Structure 1
C-alpha cells in the first residue's frame, strides 16, 4: 500500500522549500494543481526563478511565455519573482508591458541631460500589435507589474539564433542608446537588487556612460556586478569610468569584453570618442581615491586602460580587502612592482593569471605579489603565460615555498624547472590539485624524496625518462614486447627501478580522482621536442600485473589503493606492439576495471553480442584491451565492420595489415579504396566467405611491395579486375555489393573488365547491387543511340544469360555520374528475374532503349522505379523505360525534365497499380498534357496512397508541381455524363498538388492590393464559383484517411531568382512575392508565384463536404486566396479533431479589395489561434497536455486518497478507449492561467 506525505508537510514554508529544491519545474507545477493550498504554497517557489532567455536550450526556458495565459499568470505572480534570466527581446517586451506601472513621480535620471537624443516613449496602450513570427504567436501586449522584489538579473544582449523563438519582437531593440536607457530605467526601480549580470553591453558615447554609471552609483544594495562590454562598439576609457563609480556595497566585480555578435551593434553603430575630452573635463582630474572596502573578488578581462604604473596601482589601492584576483590578458605597464600590490592588498588568497596571448607581457610581478604576502596565506595559484620565461628554482622558493602550508591548488601552464616541481611535491603539504603543463619533470626529480602532498585529488605531469626507451620522434618497440622477447639490459633495469618508486609515490595518493601522466618532452621555452608521439609511448609496466617473468616487469599492484580514481589520461594505457588507447573514463560502478581481470563467463553469448551491438568501434577497442577473456569476447565484434577511408593506404607490410589479415574471418562489412589491400585480400579469398557487405572504389594501381613471385601472372602485373573477381568468388554470403567503376578496373589493353567482375558475383545470396560509373574514355561510350553496337550488346547479353541468375537480387542502383555508360554495362540485368526496385541516376540517353528492352524481357517482377537526372531525354526514350514493368508500377518516382504525351500515357497505364507517385516535371509552364494527365490518373488510381509533387520545401523555377484545373475537371465530369469521377479513396494518406482554375470573381486585386495582371488569372465562368468548388470537395471528401493535404504554392528557391529580388526586403512575404513576380515579368518571364484562382475552404463554398476527413493533421494553403475565417476554424475544430496546423492561414485578404474587412478578419483569426495555442483540432491531443499525462496517471486508490486530502476537487476526466470524453475544472483556483485536471485511464 502506497504512503503519501501528509498535507501538513507543505504547510511549513521551510520544509516546502526543502522538498521543492529536489523537484523539477514540472513536478512543482503538478503539485500546484492538486489543491488550492498547494497552489498558494508552491507559487512563490515556482516563480522564484524566472527564465525568459532563449540563448540556452533548457526545458524551463520560455515555457511560461508560450501563450497569453502564461503571461497572465506571470502578471498575477510578479511579486514572487526574485531572480530573472532574460534576453534583449523579452526585456524590451517587459519594458513596454510594465509602462503603466511606472509613475512619473519616481526619482529618475532625465535622459535628455546625458543622451544626445531621448529614447522613444514606451507604448501606453495594451492592444498594440507587433510583427508576428509564427501563425500561433501572441499579439496582445499584456500588462506586467514591476518585479520590485528582484534580487538578481542576468541580461544577455548577445545575438543567438534561438532568440528567434521569442514571440515578442519589437522593432527598436537594435538601438544602443534606447536599450541602455531602458536598462537604467528598470534598474532604478529595483531597490533590492543584489546581483547584476549584463553580457554584450554597448556604451558608445560619454552620455551613455554617465547615465549608466550614475545608475550604478545609486544601487546601494548591489553586491555582485558582472559586466561584459562589446569590444566592437565601446570606446576606450569606459572600464575605468565604471570602476570609479561603483557603489561602496560591491563585493564581487567582473569587467570583461566580448567579440560576439551584439544586437545593439547590428545597426551599424561605431564607437564614438568625439567628446572624450569633454567628458574628461567634467571629471575630477585627480584619480578617484574612494575605497571599495567590501570588494573581495575582482576579475578583469583584457584590461588595457592603465597606461602608467600609478594608474595600474591605483586600481588595487582602492581594494584593500581583496581576496581573489583574476586577470585575463592584462596590460601591466613596465616598472610595476608586485610588492606594492601585496602591501595595499594584504588579504589576497587566490590569484588567477591568464597571459596566453601576450608573448611580450610583463608577468613576473605576479610572483612578487606572492612574495610580499604573509606566509602560508595563498591558497590557489593558476598561472598561464605565453612569454616563455621559465619559472626557476629561486623564484619558486621565494613564492611557492613561502605558502607551502596553505596552497591547495597550483596550476602552471608555462615552462617550469624540473627541480621547482620537485620542491612542490616535497614541500606543499596541503596540495590537492597540481597541474604542470608545457614542462617536463625528470623522473629522478620526481622520486628524489617522498611526496608531502598526500591529499592530492588531481595530478597532471609530463615525465621524462632518462635514458629514454623511446626517444621523441622515433618508433620504438620495447624489448619485452618484441617477439621473441629479449632480456632486459642494465639501462632498462635501472629505468624500471626508478619507475617502481614513481608508481609507489602515486599509489600512496589514495584520494586521487584524476590522473594524467604524459611523456611529451618540452624545451626550456615550453615548446614540444620532436613530434611528441604521446600515445605511442605508454608508461612502461604501469598497467601490467607483476609476473614471474624477468623480462616482463609490471607494477599495477602498487596502484591498488587508488579506489576513487575516475579518469586517467596521457601515456597511461596498456602496452601492446601496435595498440594505442586515448583517454578514457572509469564509471562509478566499474572502478576496478584497471585493477582486476574481469570475466564475462557468467553471461551467455547472446547477451555479450547484444552488448557489443550497442558499442561503437572505439568502445569495442577499449573492451578488447581489458583482459584476455574480454579480448576473446569482443574481438569478433570489433572486426565486424571495417571502413577504411580514402586516405588510408598500406604502402608497406605493417603490423596493422597483419592484424587485418588475421581477422578476415570476422569481417562482415568492408569498404576500401586501396588497390594494394584489394590485391592482398585476393590471396586470402577463402577467409572472406562470411563477408556480407563490400564497397570498392579504386582510383589507382596497387603499390609495389608485392613481389612478382606469384602463380597468378595477372595479379603480379597489377590487374585490379582479376583481384576483385577472385575476392567475389570467395564471398559466398555477400548480400550488398557497392562498386565505383573507374578506369582502374582494367584488363589487358585498358579494356574495362566489368563483365568479368559481374560474372564472378555470388548468385545465391546477393540482394542489392550499387553501381557508380566514373570511367572517362569516350571511345567506349557512344552518345548517339543510333550508334549503339547492337551486335556487341547482343553477344554480351547472351554471355550473361548463360550464367546462373541472381535469384536473391531485388534492388539495383545504377549511377552514371558523368553520363558516360556503355549499354553493355546493363547486360547483367538479364540475370535478375526477381528484381523489384531499380534506382537510376544520371544515365546517358543511349542506354535507355537497351535498358527498357532488358527490363521488359528479363525482369518480370519490377514494380518500383526511382529515376532522377539533371538532363532531359526524348519523349520516346522516357516512355520506353516507363513501359518496362510487366506488373505495373507500384512506386514510381520519375524526377527529370523530359515528359511528353508518350511518357504521360505510359504512367497512366500503371494507374490501377500505383500506390506512391513522386513526380517532378521540368519546363517553362504547365501544358494541357500535364493537366490532363492528373485528371486521367485520378479517375483510375484507386490504390494510390501518396502523391508527391515537390518533396522538398523549395522549388526551382523550372520545376512544375502536380496541378489540377478545377473547371476543366468539372466540365469533363459534366460532358461525360458523370463518368469522369475521381476514384481516390480512404487509402490516400498524403496529397500534394495545386488546384487552379477555380472561378473566383471575389478576387479583384493582387495580394498587395495592386491591380491583377491579365496573365495571372484565366477567363472562367464566374457563375459556377461554388458549383465547381463543391464538386472538388466531393472528390477530396472521399479520402477519409488523408492526413496531409498540401494545396499551397511551394516556396521558390531564392538562388534561382537572385537577379529579381527587391533590393530592400521589409519582411512582408506577400509583398516580396509580388515584387519578385514584377521583376521576372520585366525580363519577359511570366511565372505565377501566387494562386489567385484557388479553393476558398469557406463554409459558403462547401467546406462541410470534407467533414469525413477525421484523420487530417496538416493543411497547406500558402500563397493562395483562401477564405478561412473564425467560422471555418470552429468547424475544423469540431470535424478535424487531429488538425495541428494550417500553413499560410494568416492573410489580410488585400486581393478582395476591402482592406478594412481583411484586417478585421486577420485580427479575429489571430485571436482565435491565441485562444487555441496547441492544436486547431478539438481532439484529445491538446487536452491531454492539461492533465497529468500518461506517465503521471494515478490508480483509483491513489486518486481517492488525494481527493480526500485536498477536499476541494469536484470532478474528474474519464476515458473511453483511452480518449478523454469529458473535461471539467478540477478545482476553483488557477495555475499559470490554465485549468487543473486530475484524470485516470481506467474509466473511473
Structure 2
C-alpha cells in the first residue's frame, strides 16, 4: 500500500475486517499486504464469516488427509498452511468448537468424519504465530488439544469449568513468553479437599499482568502453588472476589510478588477500609498506579498507606469511592513528584448512593504558603496530565476563584481537566442542587489558564457561567481541545456555548457526557 512496512502496519491495524477485505480487492499488491491482517484476529466474526471459517478448516483438513476428489492438485499449498502462521489471536475456543460442530452436522456426506476436536487440533497445528488465546473449556480433552500451543502464548485467558489437575497442567505448560494471564475459571472439584501439588514449572519471568475475575475460596487450593511463579508480575487486577480469597491474595502478594507496582480493584461489595489498607501495604517496590473502582469508603487507614507511596505514585484513580477522607487526600496531591493522573471525581451514576460528595476544600487546593499570598509549589506541577476532582467552598460566589485559577495554571502539561466545583448541596423534592465555586467565566479569571496549551478534554460539570465568549476563548487559546463535557442544553448560556463550538469547531465534541 505505502511500501513502508511500519506505515502499512499502522494503517491496517486500525481498519475493520470489512475494510481490510475491501482493500484486498483493489489489486494484487494491496491484497498481498492486507491479507495477513484479515487473518490476524479470529474474533468478532459475522455469522457468514464464521461459516466460511468452519468450511475452510474442514476442507483444509480433508485436503491434508487426501480425502479430496482424485482430480485435486495434491501439490497445491493448503489454505491454513499459507495463512495459518499469520493468526495471532484466537477468541473463545468453546464457541469455535460449537461452530465446528454445527458445520459438521450440516455439511454434505464425506469420506472421513473428523470430530470438532480434530478440526480444532488441525487449526492450532498451523497457527505457529499464535500469541493470544481465550481458552474457554468444560472438558479435559480441550486441554490436551491445546497443550502444544500453550508455550508460545503471550496472552492467555482461561475460563470455563475446569478440574484442579487440568488447571495445574495448563498453567505448568505456560512459558516465560507469557506476558498477560487472565483467570476467570470455576474449579470443578474444590469440594474434594484436594490441595495443589508442588510444581517444578519454571518461573514465568515474562509475566507482567495478572487479572483475577470472580475468584473465591474455591480457587485457593488451585492457585496456592502457582503464585511462586509470579515473582515478576507488575500489575494485578482483581474483579469480584470474595473476602476469603482477597485476604489470601494479599498474603500471596507479600510473599511472592515482589515486583508488583500497579493495582486495580473492581469489587462491588464487602470491601472496607481495612481490606484496602492491607492490600495497599503489600507492595515492596512502591505503588506506581492505584485504581479503585469499588463502592467503598476510602478511610484513614488506606490513605495513610497511600501517603507512604508518594515518591513512586504516578496514577491515583478513585472514581467510585463513596467516601474519601479529604483531610488526608489533600496530602497526596502536593506530595507526589511523579504524579500524572489524579482522579477522585465521583462518577455521575454514583451520586445517588452518597451521603456527602467527596470533595477537597478550596483552601486546601489553593494551599498558600504560611504568612504569604503565594501558592505553595507542588512537585507534580510539571508532571500532572489528568486532574479530576471536586472542590468545595464555604461561600457563593467564592472569593478565592482567582487563586484556584492560579493553582490550575501551574499544571502546564495538563491534558484532561474534569471538575464539578461545589459550594453546597441541598435536597429539594428528592433533587440535588449544586452550586459552583468556580465559574470558568472570563469575568472570574478564566484567562489565567491561557498557558494550558495541551488541554484536550474539559469537563465543566455544574459550572454555570460558561457561555459563547468562553467557548471562543477556549478555541483560540487551547488548540488541542477536542471535547467539552457537561454543557447543559437546557441552560441558555451553556447551550449557546455548545452551539458555537458545533458551528465553528467541527472537530469538537461539545455536548459530551
Q: Normalising to structure 1: TM-score of the pair?
A: 0.32
Distance 2:172 2:370 in 1: 61
Q: Is the 8 A contact 1:728 1:760 kept in 2?
A: no
Deviations 1:430-485 (A, max 9, x none): xxxxxxxxxxxxxxxxxxxxxxxxxxxxxxxxxxxxxxxxxxxxxxxxxxxxxxxx
How far, CA to CA, are the matches of 2:189 and 2:268 in structure 1?
22
Structure 2 match to 1:1037: 409
Match of 2:292 in 1: 894
Q: Distance in 1 between matches of 2:278 and 2:247?
A: 7
* RMSD (CA atoms): 4.7
- Report the structure number with the largest CA radius of gyration: 1
What is the DSSP-based 3-state SS (H/G/I as helix, E as strand, rest coil) of the residue aligned with 1:765? Answer: coil
- Contact 1:773-1:820 within 8 A present in 2 as well: no
**What SS does the corresponding residue of 1:988 show, helix, strand or coil?**
coil
Offset at 1:845? 0.9
Q: Give 1:963's aligned residue.
A: 359
Report the CA distance shift for 1:1029/1:989 in structure 2 as closer, same or farther (over 3 A). Answer: same
- Using the alignment, how far apart are the partners of 1:881 and 1:937 within structure 2? 18
CA contact (8 A) 1:863 1:887 kept: yes
* Counterpart for residue 805 of structure 1: 203
Q: Corresponding residue for 1:852? A: 250
Q: Given the alignment, which residue of 136, 149, 152 partners 1:697?
A: 136
Alignment partner, residue 918 of structure 1: 317
Between the two structures, name the one with larger relative contact order (CA 8 Å, sep ≥ 6).
2
Match of 2:127 among 658, 664, 667: 667
Q: Distance in 1 between matches of 2:289 and 2:226?
A: 23
Is 1:735 the counterpart of 2:148? The answer is no
CA contact (8 A) 2:375 2:407 kept: no
How do 1:523-922 residues align onto structure 2 when only pairs under 5 Å count?
Answer: 608=32, 611-614=35-38, 618=49, 631-632=77-78, 635-638=81-84, 640=87, 641=90, 643-645=93-95, 647-648=98-99, 654-655=113-114, 657=116, 658-662=118-122, 664-668=124-128, 692-699=131-138, 720=140, 724=143, 728=147, 731-740=150-159, 742=161, 744-745=162-163, 752-753=164-165, 756-757=168-169, 760-775=172-187, 779=191, 799-800=198-199, 803-816=201-214, 820-822=218-220, 825-898=223-296, 899-922=298-321
Q: Does 1:942 align with 2:341?
A: no
Question: 943-952 or 1165-1174: which moved more?
Answer: 1165-1174
Matches of 1:628 and 1:729 in 2, distance apart? 27
**Structure 1: 5+ residue stretches without partners:** 1-584, 591-599, 669-689, 702-719, 746-751, 782-791, 1003-1024, 1051-1072, 1082-1088, 1150-1158, 1183-1244
Matches within 5 A, 1:289-368: none
- Separation of aligned partners in 2, 1:941 and 1:1123: 32
**What is the CA-CA distance between 1:1166 and the residue it aligns to?**
3.0
Matches within 5 A, 1:416-435: none
Is 2:383 aligned against 1:987?
yes
CA separation of 1:875 and 1:695: change in aligned 2, threshold 3 A: same
1:855 offset after TM fit, Å? 1.8
SS at match of 2:434: coil
Structure 1 pair 1146–988 and aligned structure 2 pair: CA distance change class (3 A): same
- SS at structure 2 position matched to 1:1105: helix
Alpha-carbon distance between aligned partners in 2 of 1:955 and 1:935, rounded to the nearest angstrom: 22
TM-superposed CA distance for 1:939, in Å, is 0.7
Q: Does 1:1078 align with 2:476?
A: no
Q: Cα offset for 1:771?
A: 0.8
**Partner Cα distance (1:1109, 1:691) in 2:** 44
* Structure 1 residues 1140 and 962, CA gap change in structure 2 (3 angstroms): farther
Equivalent residue, structure 2, for 1:1104: 447
Tell me how far apart the structure 1 counterparts of residues 461 and 122 of structure 2 sit (CA, whole Å). 61
Pair 1103,636 (structure 1): closer, same or farther in 2 beyond 3 Å = same
C-alpha distance in 2 between matches for 1:1170 and 1:896: 38
Structure 1 residues 896 and 662, CA gap change in structure 2 (3 angstroms): closer
Q: Is the 8 A contact 2:342 2:386 kept in 1?
A: yes
Q: Distance in 2 between matches of 1:871 and 1:810?
A: 27
Structure 2 CA distance for partners of 1:817 and 1:975, relative to 1, 3 Å: farther
1:1091-1147 Cα offsets, whole Å, 9 max, x none, are: 314212234543333221122234322323x43456645644543344455444569
Give the drift of 1:654.
Answer: 2.5
Question: 1:820 deviation in Å?
Answer: 4.8
How many angstroms apart in 2 are the aligned matches of 1:1104 and 1:850? Answer: 53
Q: Deviations over 1:187-229 (max 9, x none)?
A: xxxxxxxxxxxxxxxxxxxxxxxxxxxxxxxxxxxxxxxxxxx
Seen in structure 2, the aligned counterparts of structure 1 residues 975 and 764 have a Cα distance that, compared at 3 Å, is same
8 Å CA contact retained: 2:303, 2:329: no
Task: Give, in whole Å, the separation in 2 of the partners of 1:648 and 1:823.
Answer: 34
The Cα of 1:698 is off from its aligned counterpart by: 3.2
Task: Give yes or no for contact 1:1115–1:1141 (8 Å, CA) kept in 2.
Answer: yes
CA distance in 2, matches of 1:839, 1:776: 23
Q: Which residue of 1 is the match for residue 496 of structure 2?
A: 1166
Query: Is the CA contact 1:868–1:894 (under 8 Å) kept in the aligned structure 2?
Result: yes
The whole-number CA distance in structure 2 between the counterparts of 1:1097 and 1:972 is 21
Checking the alignment, whether the CA contact within 8 Å between 1:725 and 1:757 is kept in structure 2 is no
- Match of 2:310, SS? coil
Matched, 1:1123 2:465: yes
Which residue of structure 2 aligns with residue 173 of structure 1? Answer: none
Q: 1:935 to 1:981 in 2, by over 3 A?
A: farther
Alpha carbons 2:213, 2:238 under 8 Å: kept: yes
Asked whether the 8 Å contact 2:416–2:456 carries over to 1, the reply is: yes
- The separation in 2 between residues aligned to 1:1140 and 1:809, in whole angstroms, is 37
> Are the structure 2 counterparts of residues 819 and 952 from structure 1 closer, same or farther at C-alpha, using a change threshold of 3 Å?
farther
For 1:39-59, what per-residue CA distance to the aligned partner results, in whole angstroms no more than 9, with x for missing partners?
Answer: xxxxxxxxxxxxxxxxxxxxx
Shift of 1:637: 1.8
CA contact (8 A) 1:810 1:837 kept: yes
Partners of 1:976 and 1:901 lie apart in 2 by 30
Contact 1:921–1:961 (Cα < 8 Å) also in 2: no
1:774 is paired with a residue whose SS is: strand
Q: CA, structure 1 residues 998+981, in 2 after alignment: closer, same or farther (shift >3 Å)?
A: farther
**Separation in 1, partners of 2:306, 2:278:** 11
Q: 1:1124 to 1:632 in 2, by over 3 A?
A: closer
SS in 2 for 1:920: coil
Partner Cα distance (2:475, 2:310) in 1: 35
- Supply the distance in 2 between the matched residues of 1:853 and 1:989 (Cα, whole angstroms): 34
Shift of 1:1168: 10
SS in 2 for 1:878: helix
Match of 1:787 in 2: none
Q: 1-side partners of 2:265 and 2:357: how far apart?
A: 17
Residues 468 and 500, structure 2, Cα contact 8 Å, conserved in 1: no
Kindly tell me: are residues 662 and 1166 of structure 1, through their superposed partners in 2, closer, same or farther at Cα, counting changes over 3 Å? Answer: closer
Report the Cα distance in structure 2 between the residues aligned to 1:765 and 1:1147, rounded to whole angstroms.
52
Q: Deviations for 1:394-418, whole angstroms, at most 9, x for unmatched residues?
A: xxxxxxxxxxxxxxxxxxxxxxxxx
Q: CA deviation at 1:692?
A: 4.1
Q: Provide the TM-score with structure 2 as the length reference.
A: 0.70
Distance in 2, matches of 1:813 and 1:770, equals 5
